[in-house]
Amino acid sequence: MGFIRHVVCAMSGGVDSSVAALLLKRRGYSVTGVFMKNWDSLDESGVCNTETDCEDAYRVCQSLDIPFHQVSYIKEYWHEVFSKLLKDYEKGRTPNPDILCNKHIKFNHFHKYAIDTLGADAMATGHYARTSQEDDEVFEQKTIAPQTTLFRDRFEIRNPVRMYQAADLFKDQTFFLSQISQDALRQTMFPLAGLTKDFVKKIAAEAGFHHVLKKKESMGICFIGERNFESFILEYLEPKPGNFVSLEDGVVMGTHKGWFTMTLGQRAKIGGQRDPFFVVDKDITTGDVFVAPTTNHPALFRDMMRTDRFHWVTVEPPAELVKTQMMECRFRFIHQMPLIPCTVTLNMNGSVWISLSRPVRALTPGQFAVLYKGDECLGSGKIMQLGPSEFTLQRGRERLLAAAQQQQEQKTPEPAS
């Protein structure tokens, strides 16, 4: 009998990772299930969801007859994800903890734990994503010697592992994986790559995983759970009261507890208003939060943004972008939003300008701009700066028109009396 490959599967206690482990076992691999604890808290009723998730993951491993481990990254999560998140909120941005958690915890600390500590040949997760590698190729990556020279071997750059959307486009999670390193991707298997969510549930039911099937899909920020975001964030940041100011006429409409409790595009909690107002901008120097009526106010729509240094999944930017400094592709900044055609311009410092084919509602600094070419996820960059809103451009056009009209009137000679 040949050598059996050892795969470490990240187990969350949910249906996807449970089925991922089951499929790996069926393919004949030696599988170890590992539960990661990233956040230490009790919910309102004093129940720690992490405990029940861990118990569920353990039960699945027992029924699959595979070893089960627990690992804690509470300290790492605090320093590398949560504290960065708080800093972003204080700067008026709205971060994405799920993307950061995958980058820093699951595909960094956990990846190293799986390969170096448990001696696995590869790691696996229950994410809906695909790569350009066949399973056998994942195992060959183990033999690549660590880089000792300043520049990567040209062969390695010519053959980077690429990441593609999953077969189930609705469930596709490449958006959340858009910041992970090439080294981790090379040693990762995604057993659910070619499956739909419905089929995964069917496999779980047939395998008798009823306790995980009954669970609700985990939504929202993992460590907040069902709690109110404003009260949660105020446990960690000092309240910074300020005014709600009407963008259209500068009238003060009410007060708030801190600009970081709100994100662009959300409904503003202002008492005594008959019609809803929405957050369209923030000034963190004055503490003013600008609001405007109607959910589709032109102040919420923009078509330009600049990112920080862009993270390319394949390490190098696409050849066409390097050659011409410009590239056509598609964009999203929210998971599951429709992909929008865009033009990308590469800056000298590695950041990019993204120009969209149409204005999009509530583009938000701190969120990640994720780019796709065909079904390939190219990577992502954090949105740092926004172009002018439709409202600003509209006002600018009106002013120009008024100035031109005024000039015209001044030029028109007075009729002779």
For residues 89 and 95, what is the distance between their CA atoms, to the nearest angstrom? 7
Q: Which helix (H) or strand (E) holds 204?
A: helix 197-206
* Residue whose tokens read 């995983």: 209
C-alpha gyration radius of the chain: 25
- Identify whether the C-beta of residue 380 lies closer than 8 Å to the C-beta of residue 330: no
The single residue listed with the structure tokens 């002018």 is 388
Q: How far apart are CA 151 and CA 183, in angstroms?
A: 15
Cβ-contact 105, 80 below 8 angstroms: yes
Q: Which helix (H) or strand (E) covers residue 176, if one does?
A: none
Contacts of 306 (CB under 8 A, 6+ apart): 347, 351, 352, 353, 354, 383, 384, 385
Judge whether 122 and 189 are in contact, CB under 8 Å: yes
CA–CA dist 114, 107 (Å, integer)? 10
Q: Tell me how long the chain is.
A: 417
One-letter identity of residue 84: K
What whole-number distance in Å separates Cα of residue 216 and Cα of residue 211? 11
One-letter amino acid identity for 59? R
> Does 61 qualify as catalytic in the annotation?
no
- Burial group, residue 185, by CB count within 10 angstroms (0-12, 13-18, 19+): buried
Confirm whether 101 is a catalytic residue. yes
Quote the CA–CA distance of 384 and 380 in Å, as a whole number: 12
Kindly name the residue from 9, 61, 101, 329 that is annotated as catalytic.
101
For residue 240, give the DSSP letter.
-
Active centre residues (catalytic): 101, 222
